[in-house]
Amino acid sequence: MPPGRGPAPRVVVTLLEPDRQPDPAVAARKNALCVDSVVRHGAAAIPLDARATDGDRAAAFASMDGLLLTGGPDLDPVRYGAAPAGTLDVDAARDALEASAWDAANRRGLPVLGICRGFQAMNVFAGGTLLQHVEGHAGPSYGSGPALTHPLRVVPGTRLARILFPANVGGGVVTVNSYHHQAVRPSDLAPGLVACGLSPSPAGDLVEAFEAVAGPFRMGVQSHPERTESTPRQFERLFAFFVDACRGPLLGR
């Protein structure tokens, strides 16, 4: 079903703590872009970062209709049973917040969308692993110059193909921004997830979009589609479909 109107679903959006970032103003801008990505499609955002109290978290998780996991630092490799081998900054408090949010969404069967770190977090929380460093995919940091870009090959017949290419579910190739140095290879993919977008790299093809095989709407993309200046316009449909999925299972099909 195409995106439509309905009651505003409540979407928890996990965010950076600006005052703990090298440039708080840039971090605040990143947060605002993530929140707006769902608000402009009719959601009521519940912003949440690692400073949230236990009570704030419990209330947010009890009332949310969906979960958006956003960008940020590397996950601690202990979460996928690995020793550090290229991981840079980690934030244990952010890991804990998002793991709890993921568990709550799973218990309630809610839609989840992950972008960049959120894509990697979803894979790890679902039982997958990560490649801790891949060359040539980080590019300039956000706000310091034009985004590095590369092609994303969308797998025919997937839900992502139907979202991005509604007139041609045979898939296609889009150019996406690249702000990451860690990655998911096909061998890293968690059970229950299937690759729906692949990108070339020195380490071979990388999974840069995945979706759940069954169950509620679960999708992750390695790029930052909320950064619209370096993202194809059809990614607006991804946010629209996610918000509609949060309204209820009939709208999310």
With a CB cutoff of 8 Å and minimum separation 6, the contacts of 101 are: 12, 14, 48, 57, 60, 61, 67, 69
From the list 41, 137, 180, 224, the catalytic residue is: 224
Determine the Cα–Cα distance for residues 12 and 184; give it in Å rounded to an integer.
24
Determine the Cα–Cα distance for residues 227 and 250; give it in Å rounded to an integer.
29
224 included as an active-site residue: yes
Angle of CA points 43, 141, 87, to nearest 5°: 95
116 included as an active-site residue: yes
From the list 34, 116, 196, 246, the catalytic residue is: 116
- Reduced to 3 states (helix: H, G, I; strand: E, B; else coil), residue 241 is helix
Q: Where are the beta strands (DSSP E) in 134-225?
A: 149-154, 172-177, 193-199, 206-212, 218-221
98 included as an active-site residue: no
**Which residue's structure tokens are 């996950």?**
75
CB atoms within 10 A of CB 46: 22
Query: Catalytic residue positions?
Result: 116, 224, 226
